[in-house]
Amino acid sequence: MAEELYRQADDYKMRCLIVDDESVAIKGIVNYISELDFLKVDCTCSSAIEAAEILKKKDIDLMFLDINMPHLTGLAFLETLKKSPLTIITTAYSEYALDGYRLNVVDYLLKPFDFQRFFQAVTKARDIFESRNMKKMPDSLYIRQDESFFRMEWKDILFVEAMQNYLKLHTKNRVLVIHQTMASLEEKLPKEAFFRIHRSYLVNISCIESIMGNCLYVNRTSLPIAQRKKDELMNTVVYKNLISK
C-alpha cells in the first residue's frame, strides 16, 4: 500500500532530462533536484545526440541543456526539435542568452549557479507546466475588424501597440487595427510568451532581437521599455547582468 502511494505521488513530479558533457555539472543538478518534491531525474546523458534518442522514447517534461557539447551544440539541437520539452539552458557562456530565448527556453542559468537561482528557474518551469495542464492555450485567436473576423496564430504577433481607443497588432507582413483594450487582449495570450514592456507595448518574447539601454528591438523596430519594467524584463527574459558592457 505504501509503495503504491509512493508511485502515485511520483507521477505528479516533472520528469527531467539532464544533458551535459561534464559529469560534475550533471551531479550538481541531480543534487539540487533531490531537494525538491516536484521534480525527478528521469535520464541523464552527455551529448545532444544521446538526448535526441531519449526524447524519441520517453516523455520528458523538463530538460536541462548545456550549450557547448561535442558534435552538436545544445542550441543547434533545440532548433531541430519540432516539439521540445520545457527547457532550461545551463552554460558558462552568457553570449547565447538571446538565442536561447528566441527558442522559448524557460530560463538561462549561467554556471556556476547556486540553489537559489536554480530554484527560481525550476519554479518558473513548474508554473508553466501546471498552467498548460490546467488550461491549454489555443494556438490561434479571432480578430475582429469592423464586421469581419480573422483567425490568426498568436505566434505571428511580433508586438502590440496601444493607441487611444484601439490596438495595432504588428506582424511581419501587416498591421491589424482592432478596437480592444490591452488588458483584455493580454488575457487571451499566453503569459509565458508575451511581456508588457510599457503601458503602450506588449511584445512577443521570442521576437526580441536585442536590448539596448531603455529600448529593445523587434523586427528592426525600436520599442521603449518603461523604467519600472526594466528590472523585471531582465530578470524574467534575459539573465540578470548579461548585458553589462
Query: Hey, where are the domains in the chain?
Result: 2-134, 140-230
* Second-level CATH architecture of 140-230: Beta Barrel (2.40)
Which CATH number fits the domain 2-134, given the four candidates 3.20.20.70, 3.90.45.10, 3.40.50.2300, 3.30.360.10? 3.40.50.2300
pLDDT value for 93 = 82
Q: For 75-99, how does the pLDDT look when each residue is reduced to its tens digit (9 = 90+)?
A: 999 999 988 899 999 998 877 777 7
Q: How much is the pTM?
A: 0.55
27: its cell numbers: 551531479
The three cell numbers of residue 37 are 518534491
**Residue 76 contacts by C-beta under 8 Å, 6 or more apart in sequence?**
48
194-213 pLDDT, tens digit per residue, is 999 999 999 999 899 988 88
What cell numbers appear for 70 in the block? 561535442
- The Cα 192–Cα 161 span in angstroms is 19
Place 9 in a pLDDT band, splitting at 50, 70 and 90.
very low
- Please tell me which residue, 245 or 117, carries the higher pLDDT value: 117
CA 231 to chain centroid, in Å, comes to: 17
Q: How confident is the model at residue 1 (pLDDT cuts 50, 70, 90)?
A: very low
Instruction: State the pLDDT at residue 114.
Output: 95
pLDDT over 90 (residue 190): no
Let me know if the fold of 2-134 is the same as that of 140-230.
no
